[in-house]
Every structure is written in structure tokens, then in C-alpha cells.
Amino acid sequence: MEAYAVTPIFGLILLLAMIGGARWLLMLTAAMIPFGMMAVITLPSVGGLSLLAVNLSAAALVGWGCLALIGWVMAARPIRIEPATIALLCFAGYAIFSATVLVRLFAGESMVFALARGATGVRVSTFFAWGKVWLGPSNANISQTFYVLLACGFFVAAVHVLTRHGAGFGARCMALAAWLNLVLGIMDLAALDTLLSFIRTANYSLLNEATVKGIPRIVGGFSEPSGFASASAMFFGFFASAFLHSRRRGDAVLALGSGTMTVLALSSSGFIALAVVGVALAPRLLRLRARLRRPEIIVIAVIGGILTGVIAALLLFTSAPDMVASVIDDLIFSKTESSSGMERTAWAMGGLEALRDTWGLGAGTGSLRSNGMIFVLLGSVGIIGTGAFLAFLFLAFGGRARGANAAQLSNARMGGLAVLSTMMLSATVPDPGAPLMLLAAIAVASRRREPARAPEAASGARDYAGHIAGEI
């Protein structure tokens, strides 16, 4: 086991959060989302597996949730299960089945792109080094199934926390994470790599020196631009929607800053996520115009005039138009012609081939590397698992909410739309991840109407169990 300088600091913070209760664990997990490359412990005996801070925080919250569940049972309280939870449990159950049974049932029947980078296998193209191996059980089946179960447990625990403390508490957790993401992005922009190395501890390939047409790409607390762009686009969608509802300056700053960081990451998935969210928010922007007061219209006109002048100057007196056109062409229009684009296309097709070779059942969670969430799900958990996950998304983000919760539901949908847009383009494993699960929990909690309950007094085994249940 390998520890780092950040390990004892994070351990102390985690301990304090556990003492504070489930809401502090949820806030800590949200705060760790921008630290996508911060490993607390690395296990060389398990192929150098890095245990990320966000996953350990989520695991602590799940453990607390298990104690709460025991408390509810001991207190003989009714347990309410959301329809979205049932769909997610079905997805997790099939993920376990596929990783333990299907991978052995179809072993040797299909060739797949393995998750392990060391498994080069049989070369299938001269444009990239990744090769195919025969389908069979591996350690990746265990690790990826664990991540799926962790995401499922985190969602359930987060729903209970937000049901008690309100969906607005989830928005505060998102705000904390968004501010941290901005700080890390600014630090990377300022080339403070020495400081950032303190939290970039995972044994991933660090791509902070990557450029596009000589323009450096920002990665923040992540290992590569696409991860930072995905997180930044999520915060942009959430807080752009929040600003249109509240018109608070803090929401506007977070939305503008997160959108800027998404652009500076120079990731094709980030640009597409911004475009998707922009199109989704366009009707609300048009409706907002009718509700603006005169001072607000003047401020917007002044800012718009300044931006228009700056853009016009750049277009007329610099080579910016050619540079921007070249960057967009490389990142989006010519992406499939690059070695990376061809490699990811081959991964996506490999997922469909695995679906075909397994008769639509899937090759097993962690059995293959594909590209794009749909192709990953179809190749790994087949039609049944994919259907369960899509049902979860519909049940979690669908429906209506009333009053202030309607805004929270809308914000969660915009953030979820951004995350799903990037996952549909760049996901390689079936792990839903903490960001999407947190947004889904906010959406579910915003539709609940039951009032929050105060924790019961702890006296005796029964009252103690009720107290633990009340905490979460």
C-alpha cells in the first residue's frame, strides 16, 4: 500500500465529516468531485489501483447509510423506496450477474478491447497500439462492479440526506464543488504545477502539457482535459439554469467561470456539452427577456456592447478567426480522422460486436473497453442492463416539482444533461459516477413533499437506532 502527503490530511477531514454526520459526508463527496486525480491510497498488489478521494468519501457515506438502514429496521420504521432506486438496483443486480456469470458463459467466444492497458492483445490497426484479447474473467470485472455498486449506494444515501435537509442543500454542495473546480482551473492556468502535484497523486497519465495548435489545454484537478471539461460543463449547466431562475450574481459567476473553464479545456466533448445545454436553455433565455427590469437591461446592454467590441477587434486585427476555425476543425469535424478518433471508433464498434456475440446479454461489467455510454452499456450489460439504466434516468430526472423545488429539479436536469452529453461521447466504462448520481439525488429529492424530521433522542438500543436513522 502506498500513501501520499495528502493522505493524512484527507483522513482527518474524512474523520471530522463522519463525526459531523451524513450531510457533512455528502458535502465532502461533492467537494471531492473536482479532485479527479487525487488518490489517497494506491494498491500495487492490485495492479496499482488508485483509491480516489471522491470514491472513499462516497464509500463512507454509503457505510453511514447502511447504519441508518439498520437503525430504521430496529426502530420499526417504514422504509420508502423510490421508483428510481428500484430501477438502479435492477441495473446494479444485472451488472453483478454479467460480471460473474455472463463473462464466464461467453469466455473465448468474442474478442474485446480489454480495460487493462498492459493487455495489448492482437493489433487490429496500425494507427493505434491497443489490441483485442479473448473475452474472459479478469480483475476489472471485480473493480468495475464495485464502482457500479458504490454509485448505486451513493445515490440511495444521497437521496435520504437530501430528503431530510432539502434539495437546496444539494445545490449548496454543488456550489462548493464548482468554486473548488474554478480554483483548481485557475491554478492550472497559472501553471502552478508544483502545488497541483500535491493533489495529482493517482497513477494516471497526466496530460497537462497537451496543446491544440499550440494552445495549452487546462486539466484542473483531473488527469486529462476531457475529465475537467465534463465537470466544468456540468457546473455550467447547473448554475446557468440556477441563474435564470434566481438571477443571483453568485450563480452567474459560477456559470460564466465554469463555461470559460470548459472552453479552455479544449475538449470536443466539453464543447458539445456546452452546445447541448445552450440549446436546452435558449427558450428560457427568451422568456427571461420579458421579465428583466430596466437597470438589468442596461447592464446587459453595456456588457454585450463591450464583448461585441472585443470580438470585433479580434476578428479584424488578429489571426484569431483562422486559429479558432482550425481548433474547432481539429476537435470536432476532423476528430474521427485522428488516431484518437479512430481508436475510440474502434472501441465503440467493439461494444456492438460484444453485444452481437453475446446475443444481446452483454459481455460483463468490466470485461471490455468501449466508447460512448450507450456502446459501453450495450457491450457490458446488454439490452437488459441498458434498459434498466435508461429507466433509472427517466424516473430520476422526470416528473414535476412545486415551488422552489421546481427550480432545483430544473437545475439538476441541466447539470445531468451536460454530464450525459460528455458520457455519451467519451465514457469507456459503465460506472455512472458520483456527479451524475448526486444530480439524480437532487432531482429525486426535489419531488418529495414530506417534511424533514428531527432526530429522536438516543436512549437505549431502540432510540439509538432511531437517532442514526434520523441523522441520515
Q: Read off the pTM.
A: 0.87
What's the burial of 204, exposed, middle or buried (CB within 10 Å: 0-12/13-18/19+)?
Answer: middle
pLDDT at 450: 47
Between 235 and 211, residue with greater pLDDT: 235
pLDDT digits 0-9 by tens, 314-349: 455 545 455 555 555 555 555 556 667 777 888 889
pLDDT at 463: 37
pLDDT-derived band of residue 45, with 50, 70 and 90 as boundaries?
Answer: low
Residue 387 has pLDDT above 80, yes or no: yes
Mean pLDDT, range 3-24, rounded to an integer: 91
- Which cell goes with 93? 443486480
pLDDT digits 0-9 by tens, 221-233: 898 888 999 999 9
Contact 236, 286 (CB under 8 A): no
pLDDT at 352: 93
Query: Mean pLDDT of all residues in the chain?
Result: 82
pLDDT at 131: 76
pLDDT at 173: 96
pLDDT at 468: 38
pLDDT-derived band of residue 155, with 50, 70 and 90 as boundaries?
Answer: very high
Integer angstrom CA distances of residue 60 from 13, 50, 125: 12, 17, 43
pLDDT at 25: 95
Between 62 and 211, residue with greater pLDDT: 62
Rounded to whole angstroms, the Cα distance separating 363 from 356 reads 10
Rounded to whole angstroms, the Cα distance separating 63 from 15 reads 13
pLDDT at 74: 77
The distance of Cα 24 from the centroid of its chain, to the nearest Å, equals: 20
Rounded to whole angstroms, the Cα distance separating 249 from 254 reads 9
pLDDT digits 0-9 by tens, 421-443: 999 988 889 999 999 999 999 99
Mean pLDDT, range 401-420, rounded to an integer: 90
pLDDT-derived band of residue 416, with 50, 70 and 90 as boundaries?
Answer: very high
pLDDT digits 0-9 by tens, 447-470: 875 444 444 333 333 333 343 344
* Least confident among 21-25, 204-208, 358-362, 432-436: 204-208
Mean pLDDT, range 352-380, rounded to an integer: 93
Give me the DSSP letters along 108-160.
Answer: TS-EEE-SSTT---EE--SS---EEEE----HHHHHHHHHHHHHHHHHHHHHH
Using a pLDDT cut of 70, give the percent of the chain over it: 79
